[in-house]
Amino acid sequence: MTNPKNNTLALFGGPKSIIDNFITYNTMGNEEVDAAKAVIESGVLSKYIGAWHPDFLGGPKVKEFEADCSKFFGVKHAITVNSWTSGLVAAIGAIGINPGDEVITTPWTMSASATAILHWNGIPIFADIDRDTFNLDLLSVERNITEYTKAIVSVDIFGMPSAMDDLIKLAKKYNLKIISDTAQAPCAKYKGKYAGTMVDIGGYSLNYHKHIHTGEGGVLVTNDDELAERMQLIRNHAEVVVDGKGSNYLTNMVGHNFRLGEIECAIGIEQLKKLPNLVKNRQTLANALSVELSTLPSLQTPVIPEDRDHVYYIYPLILNYEEIGVTRDRICDALEAEGIPIIRRYQNIHLLPMYQQKIAFGNQGFPWNSEFCKRDIDYSKGICPVAEELQDNSFFGIGMCVYDLDLNDISMIAKAFKKVWSNLDALK
């Protein structure tokens, strides 16, 4: 697959380092096929009832998958939902947020981490990120806390757990709730505990391009009985259930249909069994790539603090473009020409048009231009300088859950990087 004889960059007409396309990542096997087939043959594809009823919590596969997740992650409650976006909406509603309450999160995440706050007419507040871990910078979080702050949505981005002990101390200091968006980091550990399990509410995505998946879906986890009940209610038409159930806490009991079906949960049961080995394989591949790329000047490979591990949804890199004298985009052009699929940048969601123009619901600027929003909120470029610089100039990465890579693939990727780095003068 490689041709070492000609070192001319493919960008300039030389041979590509990687000729064949990588195999698409696929975690499905006969186990999932058999599990889905059994559900279809049973005729019970869903058993939810949107009322207080024995089937309010779903059918047998929903309950089995939730029990398996609860046991696997070591939590009292696991609650399945039809997407992780739905999970975030349910989690933020469950903590009792009121219109105008501020919730701090990161700009360096998928958009739902913040729009779930807006769903309840809360106000997203963006704190900056740590340059090495890409997670929330705790000093920036504290600077953004006001008397209106209700909670923090921490995101374990790319597969790296956040510094949870410090975050928990900060939340206790200011009496804040913590929701851990661990969509990209299932099975990652912080001080021996699974990411997402140490806070008020955590959870994981089961979207098709994650470590394991059910097509679409998510799993919420908590050790709080009341929060679990409230998320179950929000998941399944809360407003018509609370009366029959005898619930008196009606805040945000506006229900939805966030229910994950029996087929997806049957698949999830089999996928969960595979998660530890799939993650271990990703870690082996990423560690091998780090050994190879760490010798290249002006390139920062993943920084892993000693108190946690990384499960590599994305393999992140930082280019010192000023030192190397070549732009990030020029480097990415060369790497892509050699056959490496590159993620050129992530995103800063505070710079999306919705936040820049402060228009979410209707055309009058709600909720920012309302009696609920207590102060003027700044979303201008410059509020998150680290995140913005990474996006604009220096971050790029490789999607580790996009392809079914092996050590031979990693070797070819490393050779392609080294070929590009040996031709830096030609790229300037």
Backbone angles phi, psi at 81, to 5 degrees: -140, 165
pLDDT along the chain (428 residues), means of 10: 70 94 95 98 97 96 98 98 98 97 97 97 98 98 98 98 97 98 98 98 97 97 98 97 93 95 98 98 98 97 96 98 97 98 95 97 95 96 98 97 96 98 95
Q: Which residues contact 246 (CB under 8 A, 6 or more apart)?
A: none
Residues 261, 214: Cα–Cα separation, whole Å: 10
Domain that holds residue 219: 30-271
Rounded to whole angstroms, how far apart are CA atoms 81 and 58?
11
Cβ neighbours for 415, distance < 8 A, ≥ 6 positions apart: 2, 4, 17
- Assess whether 143 and 244 both reside in one domain: yes
| 334 and 263 within one domain | no
Q: Tell me, yes or no, whether 255 and 306 share the same domain.
A: no
Distances from the Cα of 194 to the Cαs of 25, 27, 184, 191, in angstroms?
A: 24, 21, 13, 8
- Rounded to whole angstroms, the Cα distance separating 252 from 229 reads 13
Flag whether 355 is in a domain.
no
- Of 208, 238, 271, the residue that ends a domain is 271
Residue 383 identity (one-letter amino acid)? I
Say yes or no: 305 and 254 in one domain. no
Dist. CA 363–CA 327, nearest whole Å: 40
CA–CA separation, 176 vs 83, rounded Å?
Answer: 25
Residue with tokens 């509020």: 383
Same structural domain, 142 and 265:
yes
78, β-bridge pairs: 221
Element (H, E) at 396: strand 395-399
Is there a domain that residue 381 lies in? no
Q: Establish if 185 belongs to a structural domain.
A: yes
Decide if 158 is inside a domain.
yes
Rounded distance, CA 254 to CA 82, Å? 17
290 and 267, same structural domain?
no
On whether residue 374 sits in a domain, the answer given is no
Q: Is 189 helix (H, G, I), strand (E, B) or coil?
A: strand
Distance of alpha carbon 65 from alpha carbon 79, whole angstroms = 9
- Structure token pair of residue 137: 């910078």
Same domain, 121 and 70: yes
Say whether both 159 and 244 belong to one domain. Answer: yes
- The reply to whether 265 falls in a domain is yes
Report d(CA 132, CA 242) in Å as an integer.
45
Among 238, 271, 304, the domain-final residue is: 271
Closest CA to 155 of 164, 166, 146, 147: 164
Clarify whether residues 206 and 111 are in a common domain.
yes
At 35 the pLDDT is 98
Answer whether the bond into residue 367 is a cis peptide, omega within 30°: yes
Do 282 and 239 share a structural domain? no
- Same domain for 54 and 166, yes or no, is yes
Which parts of 83-217 are beta strand (E)?
102-105, 123-126, 149-155, 177-181, 189-190, 193-194, 201-205
**Is the whole-model pTM more than 0.75?**
yes
The CATH number given to whatever domain includes residue 284 is: 3.90.1150.10
pLDDT value at position 255? 83
In the DSSP assignment, the letter for residue 10 is: G
Residue 1, domain member (yes or no) = no
Query: What pLDDT is recorded for position 1?
Result: 45
In a domain, 362, yes or no: no
Last-in-domain residue among 227, 250, 271: 271
- Same domain flag for 106 and 175: yes
pLDDT of residue 294: 96
Q: Distance (Å, rounded) from C-alpha 98 to C-alpha 250?
A: 12
Residue 212, exposed/middle/buried by CB under 10 A (0-12, 13-18, 19+)? Answer: buried
> How many structural domains comprise the chain?
2
Which CATH number do you get for residue 225?
Answer: 3.40.640.10
Cα-based distances in Å from 327 to 13, 125, 168, 334, 424? 20, 31, 38, 11, 11
The rounded distance, in Å, linking the Cα atoms of 143 and 237 is 38
Alpha-carbon distance of 105 to 109, in angstroms, equals 9
**pLDDT value for 5:** 56
How many CA atoms within 13 Å lie on the side-chain side of 21? Answer: 5
